[in-house]
Structure 1
Amino acid sequence: MSWGHWPVGLQTVVLLLASNVFMTFAWYGHLKSLSMAPWYVAALVSWGIALFEYLLQVPANRIGYAEFNVGQLKIMQEVITLTVFVPFAMFYLKEPFKLDYVWAAVCMVGAVYFIFRSA
């Protein structure tokens, strides 16, 4: 099965997951890897990484918009962001796990319910 034959929802989620990995590194990776560099170096490196995020995010939204409304795309994006961010914070930045991550996820489940219930 080629990429174009994947269901729209799956294409959208896969592209959003990949774009979020890039964006999480762009936004937070410099806190560890470039902590001693001047802020403008970190910003330039982050912009370079973010380019790849946009190369995935834009097609994800364009493909997804064929099946989802913009609110659904946004909530999907936020759920994926949390799904990518928590392991990144714990394993890359060595942040401790917090119960607040669980509560945030519960709130996101509510957001998903409300934005998709009328679909």
Structure 2
Amino acid sequence: MRTIYTIVLLVLSNTFMTLAWYGHLKFKDMKWSQNLPLIGIILISWGIALFEYILQVPANRLGFKEYGGPFSLVQLKVIQEVITLVVFMIFSFLFFKTETFKLNHLIGFVFLVLAVYFIFKK
């Protein structure tokens, strides 16, 4: 169960992270935010990122072997990176219609899957 909770929390955490880091790039399309100064955008992003941390910290504690979880520190990091890229790709395709998925992206994802395989190989 810790495996599932860890992965679900990491997916949710990375969703908030992606919104905090890249969501503000779409603010120009929203009337309420067009006159906000950069500090306003930063504060909104920090507010969103707070939810990332609220989910990320428990995910790492639940998942880490030294706290009774199934994953080593390296495994947790690799899982998190793969989730980050998957969430980012979905986000970019949904909100930034100009982005396209190319062969080099597919090849990169294949290498990420191979990285996960080698990191988890005993």
Preserved contact between residue 34 and residue 42 of structure 1 (Cα < 8 Å): no
Residue 25 of structure 1: which of 19, 24, 27 is its match? Answer: 19
Shift of 1:73: 0.1
Q: Which residue of 2 aligns with 1:4?
A: none
Residue identity in the other structure for 1:73: L
Query: In the alignment, does 2:84 pair up with 1:90?
Result: no
Distance 2:37 2:102 in 1: 30
Give the unaligned 5+ runs of structure 1: 1-6
1:49 aligns with 2:48: yes
Q: What is the aligned partner in structure 1 of residue 10 from structure 2?
A: 16
Q: CA RMSD in A?
A: 1.4
Task: Give the number of equivalent residue pairs.
Answer: 112
Q: 1:69 and 1:44, CA in 2 relative to 1: closer, same or farther beyond 3 A? A: same
Q: Deviations over 1:2-25 (max 9, x none)?
A: xxxxx1110100000000110000
For 2:84, the equivalent position in structure 1 comes to 81
Match for residue 103 of structure 2? 99
Amino acid at match of 2:37: P
Assess if the C-alpha contact under 8 Å between 1:71 and 1:115 holds in 2.
Answer: yes
| Larger gyration radius, structure 1 or structure 2 | 2
Cα distance in 2, alignment partners of residues 114 and 15 from structure 1: 23
The percent identity for this pair of structures is 54
What's the offset of the Cα at 1:34?
A: 4.7
Deviates more, 1:25-34 or 1:54-63: 25-34
d(CA) in 2 for partners of 1:78 and 1:12? 14
Residue 40 (structure 1) aligns with = 39
CA distance in 2, matches of 1:77, 1:50: 16
